Amino acid sequence: MKLRNIAIIAHVDHGKTTLVDALLKHSGTVRENQRVAERVMDSGDIEKERGITILAKATSVEWKGTRINIVDTPGHADFGGEVERILNMVDGVIVLVDAAEGPMPQTKFVVGKALKVGLKPIVAINKIDRPDARHVEVINEVFDLFAALDATDEQLDFPILYGSGRDGWMAASPEGPKDEGLAPLFEVVLNHVPEPTVHEGPFRMIGTILEANPFLGRIITGRIESGSVKPNQAVKVLHHDGTVLENGRISKILAFRGIERQPIEEAQAGDIVAIAGLSKGTVADTFCDPSINVPMQAQPIDPPTVTMSFIVNDSPLAGTEGDKVTSRVIRDRLLKEAEGSVALQIEESPDKDSFYVSGRGELQLSVLIETMRREGFELAVSRPRVVMQKGENGETLEPVEEVVIDVDEEHAGIVVQKLSERKADMIELRPSGGNRQRLVFHAPTRGLIGYQSELLTDTRGTAVMNRLFHAYEPYKGELPGRTNGVLISNDQGEAVAYALFNLEDRGPMVIEPGVKVYQGMIIGIHSRDNDLEVNVLKGKKLTNIRASGKDEAVKLTPPIRMTLERALSWIQDDELVEVTPKSIRLRKLHLDPNDRKRFEKQKASAA
């Protein structure tokens, strides 16, 4: 059967996964009356809850005697490593662009990578039915973007389709016809995307997606570059430096057939398949015939920009809510994660009780923490820090990101002010339709940690921020920190409503009555800039004069809910977030007040 391999790339929320749903339905892969989940490719729990794609996944459809392998990719810059490595599996890309928003930072990032590899793009203008659609300007913006990314003349001669993935139609004109469904898109894919290039020689394949299966063990997905492979065939795994990792046999070959994976007896060069049976091979390794000694080279991956410390939980409540608390199980879990995610780097600290985990951004690391806490892990994590580099002349370089903010005109002033305080340089300001403006900045990554929630507060939830790694530039100096101190519990026990009520003048709380607290745990935000130790266990004195029932009449202001992302971006360098399967607690790094004073003195003398 003829083959085509394509990836769908776009910015977050431009409709990639919804379009894959429509392609599966239109091709007859999913029956009309078959019950499937919405956004069927987003199979993970966190993906379903957040409505975002985190891992790249493959599927396939048949159209007029041709099998089309489709790879659905994430749209968030934090998961850009997933997109970079799958580009060597495909021969063409569908660049999906929102008819109102136009090409956004992540579109620019992945399109740049795709054009560099030499892939031929197909541009699909999605959500054409939006009332604020502006498809003529968007096409011009896409063309300008391709030209700015040094596209070849052949790549600039891209076909354009308009339509709505949600309604299941694409056409060469914005007006339709709509009754042909997605047939025009399939035809363009067949005519525009070349067949996979097949090299001569025995079996070779580079690993691109790794997953663990409880029945089959490690499953590696990739595209076969040359030769063919059958179950029980002997293969060896080569590291990218040429060392042999293992020799083994393939137990099963799984091919993508719609949303299912089916075992097959033989896979040919050019097809995207998953193989099982090998225990050591991972992403970017070469799986090949025993006669081959030279590994294939994988696409280089951009380096991580943000790092965090994952520390063994040593609080008084450690081990009460989770069952995986030791450094050994945390280490094994992190190393397993790093195998499948090329954009993550894990480094063990000298004391063996903490690990430095580096990734592309706060979102990528917070998704990893959320996944681990759901698996029963307990750990403490530090504030995200940026990964610095040394320049050629010995100067310190820090990561700078391109930030695009769409905001109502009335709020543009406060956004510019706040970002200039965070050492950001404004690059562009232009109207983006509907009394909104698009602001483009180059901002240090340090200044953006924790800015998302502040931006939403300043703009009453109307701003949309997108960010993308731009370059390493000279260090821009100190940034303003958090202006408020914290309220710290001075003893261990359960928080009492009466005590919390009396502390409300000191600032808003982050805990509720009845919550277990311990010495050094953060229970609220101080209204001033210093930290304050308080007693939250102090109950009301009960005598025969005062009525004991009065305590029930205490009306407390609802506490501030600290989600994982908010907590990570809010804490300071001397604070930690304690994460367990049931709770997210904030605490000081040093729980004992005397240790904290000693630490402050050392810090002051060092400065």
Q: How far apart are CA 125 and CA 289, in angstroms?
A: 43
Domain boundaries, the chain: 2-192, 204-288, 389-474, 486-606
Query: Known binder of ligand: residue 29?
Result: no
CB contact burial 127-141 (16+ within 10 A = b; e otherwise): bbeeeebbbeebbeb
Query: Per the annotation, does 442 bind a ligand?
Result: no
For all residues of the chain together, what is the average pLDDT? 85
Lowest-confidence segment of 145-149, 252-256, 295-299, 377-381 by average pLDDT: 295-299
Q: Which of 42, 448, 413, 7 has its CA nearest to residue 189?
A: 7
Q: Order the strands of the 120-126 sheet from edge to edge.
A: 57-63, 66-72, 2-10, 92-98, 120-126, 160-164, 169-171
Given this model, what pLDDT does residue 40 score? 53
Ligand-binding site membership of 126 (annotated): yes
Q: What is the pLDDT of residue 112?
A: 85
Specify the DSSP class assigned to residue 506.
G
pTM listed for this prediction: 0.80
Residue 572: the pLDDT is: 87
Count the alpha carbons within 13 Å of 93 in the hemisphere toward its beta carbon: 29
Sequence letter at residue 80: G
pLDDT digits (tens, 9 = 90+) for 243-265: 888 899 999 999 888 777 889 99
> What is the spatial distance between Cα 574 and Cα 590, in angstroms, rounded to a whole number?
8
Confidence of residue 543 (pLDDT cuts 50, 70, 90): low
Question: Residues 282, 284, 287, 292: is their CA dihedral positive or negative?
Answer: negative
Better-predicted residue by pLDDT, 106 or 474: 474
The mean pLDDT of 350-368, rounded to a whole number, is 86
Specify the pLDDT at position 34.
54
Q: How far is CA 454 from CA 458, 495, 566, 606, in A?
A: 6, 29, 10, 32
Number of alpha helices (DSSP H) and beta strands (DSSP E) in the chain: 15, 34
CATH number of the domain located at residue range(s) 204-288 in this protein:
2.40.30.10
Of 213-217, 486-490, 528-532, the poorest mean pLDDT is in 213-217
Task: Average the pLDDT over 531-537 and give the result.
Answer: 90
> What region does 165 belong to: left with phi over 0, alpha with psi -120 to 50, or beta?
alpha
Q: What is the mean pLDDT of residues 57-78?
A: 83
Q: What's the rounded Cα separation, in Å, for the pair 187 and 255?
A: 23
- Quickly state the pLDDT bin for 43 (edges 50, 70, 90): low
**Domain 486-606: CATH superfamily, name plus number:** bipa protein (2.40.50.250)
pLDDT band at 44 (very low <50, low <70, confident <90, very high): low
> Distance between CA 270 and CA 198 in Å, rounded?
6
Is 178 annotated for ligand binding? no
Q: Does the pLDDT at position 547 exceed 70?
A: no
Tokens of 230: 């059958």
CATH topology assigned to domain 389-474: Alpha-Beta Plaits (3.30.70)
Q: Tell me: is residue 18 an annotated ligand-binding position.
A: yes
Please report the pLDDT score of residue 588 as a whole number: 92
Pairing of strands 252-257, 260-263: antiparallel
Mean per-residue pLDDT for 68-75? 84
Percent of the chain with pLDDT over 90: 26
- pLDDT tens digits, one per residue of 79-97: 777 777 788 888 999 999 9
Residue 553: per-residue pLDDT? 65
Per-residue pLDDT at 452: 80
pLDDT at 12: 78
CA angle (447, 449, 450) in 5-degree steps: 115
pLDDT at 584: 92
Say which range, 19-33, 47-61, 396-410, has the weakest mean pLDDT. 19-33
2-192 and 204-288 share one fold: no
Compute the C-alpha angle 27/33/37, nearest 5°.
Answer: 80
- Average pLDDT (36-54) is 63
Architecture of domain 2-192: 3-Layer(aba) Sandwich (3.40)
Among residues of the chain, what percentage have pLDDT more than 70?
93
- pLDDT digit string (tens) for 549-558? 555 567 888 8
Q: How confident is the model at residue 550, as a pLDDT?
A: 53
Which pLDDT tens digit goes with each residue over 148-200? 888 889 989 999 999 988 888 899 988 878 888 889 999 999 999 999 888 88
- In this structure, what token pair is assigned to residue 98? 């929102």
Helix, coil or strand: residue 65: coil
Q: How confident is the model at residue 124 (pLDDT cuts 50, 70, 90)?
A: very high
| DSSP labels, 436-487 | EEEEEEEEEHHHHTTHHHHHHHHTTT--EEEEEEEEEEE--------S--EE
pLDDT of amino acid 123: 93
| Longest pairwise C-alpha distance within the chain | 95
Mean pLDDT of 458-462: 86
- Is 544 annotated as belonging to a binding site? no
Helix 451-458 vs helix 412-421: crossing angle, to nearest 10: 150
